[in-house]
């Protein structure tokens, strides 16, 4: 059963098409990867789903979620859905944190915007969320600059999944991380997906990042979908030359992720 269905989504900037009438769906509990080179329209598509496009960009078409077209929702209602029903983890996770606010303060502001909890209950919930992504509770009192890049990305994931959204949109979440940290983040997302039952829309330029995790793959080039299907079909028998190009590029890179192991994933 589909959780979210995209029908003929187009995005333009001053009349120039960036995304061109694309259609695909995301099932409940499914991991869908959207892959393509920079400039293919992947991140613009992800931003359009939550009405996060810049002022010069215009989205048309339908994004159906529980009977609503997300593109047509009033901004106030859309803001309520962001975080509670669909949530984001971005490539620029460091830019999401205010340097002079503690990690706990970031959680607190987020919780107060969506929940009616006491201060002590908010703190307990936040610390439990930090533990769920492999961090110590005392991270609650630290400032963003006191955490490594991998730790900050874990915090951003904890925030994104705090309210158990139906859909997590992860837009190039591992690009700024080294290969070991990237592997750990992907393992973490996979583990949390199993725990929460959420769907994941994963945006990436690198097929290595999804070969062990995705259920289905959507391949984009120059704003269009050139191929989509089950992971086994896309990786094993691609139909489009561009898909084969991406596979060949991933295969030619020798420094891939390490083998999955409980020791490395800790």
- Each residue's pLDDT tens digit, 99-152: 999 999 999 998 998 888 999 999 999 999 999 999 999 999 999 999 998 899
* Residue 250 phi, psi dihedral angles, 5° rounding: -70, -40
- Each residue's pLDDT tens digit, 12-28: 998 899 999 999 999 99
Q: Is the pLDDT score of 257 beyond 50? A: no
Q: What is the pLDDT of residue 252?
A: 64
Residue 145 lies in a domain: yes
Residue 179 lies in a domain: no
Lowest mean pLDDT among 45-59, 127-141, 191-205, 245-259: 245-259
91 confidence band (pLDDT: 50, 70, 90): confident
Distance CA 100, CA 182 (A): 27
More confidently predicted of 179 and 42? 42
Q: What is the pLDDT of residue 45?
A: 97
Residue 256 lies in a domain: no
Average pLDDT, the chain: 90
Q: What is the pLDDT of residue 182?
A: 86
Structural domains counted in the chain: 1
Q: Is the pLDDT score of 97 beyond 60? A: yes
- Each residue's pLDDT tens digit, 126-137: 999 999 999 999
Residue 158 lies in a domain: yes
Residue 171 lies in a domain: no
Distance CA 36, CA 218 (A): 9
% of the chain with per-residue pLDDT over 90: 72
Range of the domain at 108: 95-162
What does the pLDDT average to over 164-178? 90
Residue 116 lies in a domain: yes
Q: Is the pLDDT score of 85 beyond 60? A: yes
Residue 105 lies in a domain: yes
Nearest to 10 by CA among 87, 63, 86, 68: 63
Q: What is the pLDDT of residue 240?
A: 96
DSSP designation for 183? H
* Residues sharing a CB contact under 8 Å with residue 234, sequence separation 6 or more, in sequence order: 216, 217, 219, 227, 228, 243
Distance of CA 72 to the CA centre of its chain: 22
First-to-final CA distance of the chain: 33
Residue 110 lies in a domain: yes
């Amino acid at each position: 059963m589909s959780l979210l269905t995209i029908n003929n989504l187009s995005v333009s900037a001053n009349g120039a098409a960036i995304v061109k009438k694309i259609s695909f769906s995301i099932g409940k509990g499914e991991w869908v990867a959207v892959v393509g080179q920079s400039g293919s329209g992947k991140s613009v598509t992800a931003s359009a789903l939550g009405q996060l496009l810049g002022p010069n960009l215009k989205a048309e078409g339908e994004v159906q979620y529980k009977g609503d077209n997300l593109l047509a929702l009033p901004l106030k209602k859309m803001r309520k859905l962001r975080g509670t029903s669909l949530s984001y983890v971005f490539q620029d996770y460091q830019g999401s944190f205010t340097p002079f606010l503690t990690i706990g303060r970031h959680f607190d502001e987020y919780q107060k915007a969506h929940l009616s909890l006491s201060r002590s209950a908010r703190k307990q919930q936040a610390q439990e969320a930090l533990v769920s992504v492999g961090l110590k509770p005392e991270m609650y009192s630290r400032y963003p600059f006191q955490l490594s890049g991998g730790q900050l990305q874990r915090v951003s994931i904890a925030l994104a999944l705090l309210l158990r959204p139906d859909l997590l949109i992860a837009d190039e979440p591992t690009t700024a991380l080294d290969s070991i940290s990237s592997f750990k983040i992907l393992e973490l997302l996979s583990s949390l997906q199993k725990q929460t039952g959420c769907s994941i829309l994963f945006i990436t330029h690198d097929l290595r990042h999804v070969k062990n995790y995705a259920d289905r793959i959507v391949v984009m080039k120059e704003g269009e979908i050139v191929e989509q299907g089950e992971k086994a079909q896309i990786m094993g028998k691609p139909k489009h030359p561009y898909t084969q190009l991406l596979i060949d590029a991933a295969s030619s890179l020798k420094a891939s992720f390490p083998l999955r192991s409980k020791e490395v994933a800790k």
